[in-house]
Amino acid sequence: MSQQIISKSPGDLQSVAGQLIQAHPEARIFAFYGALGAGKTTFIKAMCKTLGVTDMVNSPTFALINQYQTKTGGPVYHFDFYRIRKIEEAMDMGYEDYFYGGDYCLIEWPEKIESLLPDETIRVNIVEEAKSGNRVFSF
């Protein structure tokens, strides 16, 4: 069953993040799909805030992965696969340790590593409506 939420402003993102986490309380792997500029990183910042991340959240475009600490001490991993050229790059970084380790993994540009994503991955599509600028989140 798919759920759709419309965000009319960046101020709505915290609520959308809470609804996503509440809809999938056992999920730990979230893959974010959307065009360049759709708001994936901005939404991940809201997700991290909802998850209690205490570190500054930035896109790991060049590092591929950032690790953030939460108030409870557990890590949240933020991946950005935009710049990888081949799937072996994700394999070489030991993706299995992250994806199957039980911690939150928030993934930008997952289409680059689609075959590596666990079956239980929650796929979130973000589409910007051209006229209104609203973001439509489907998961």
Domain that holds residue 55: 4-138
* 102-115: average pLDDT: 96
Count the neighbouring beta carbons within 10 Å of the beta carbon of residue 72: 8
* 76-96: average pLDDT: 93
Tell me the pLDDT band of 59, cut-offs 50, 70 and 90.
Answer: confident
Cα–Cα distance, 22 to 55 (Å, whole number): 22
**Domain at 59, CATH number:** 3.40.50.300
What is the chain's alpha carbon radius of gyration, rounded to the nearest angstrom? 14
pTM of the model: 0.93
- In sequence order, what are the beta bridge partners of 123? 31
- Please state, rounded to an integer, the average pLDDT across all residues of the chain: 93
Residue 71: pLDDT above 90?
yes
Looking at the chain, the whole-number percentage of residues with pLDDT higher than 70 is 99
Nearest to 124 by CA among 11, 17, 9: 17
**The total number of structural domains that make up the chain:** 1
- Beta carbons within 8 Å of 55's beta carbon, 6+ residues apart: 68, 69
Residue 62: pLDDT above 80?
no
What H or E segment, with its residue span, contains residue 45? helix 40-50
Q: Looking at residue 68, what is its pLDDT?
A: 97
Give yes or no for a contact between 48 and 14, defined as CB atoms under 8 angstroms apart. no
Structure-block tokens of residue 102: 């039980």
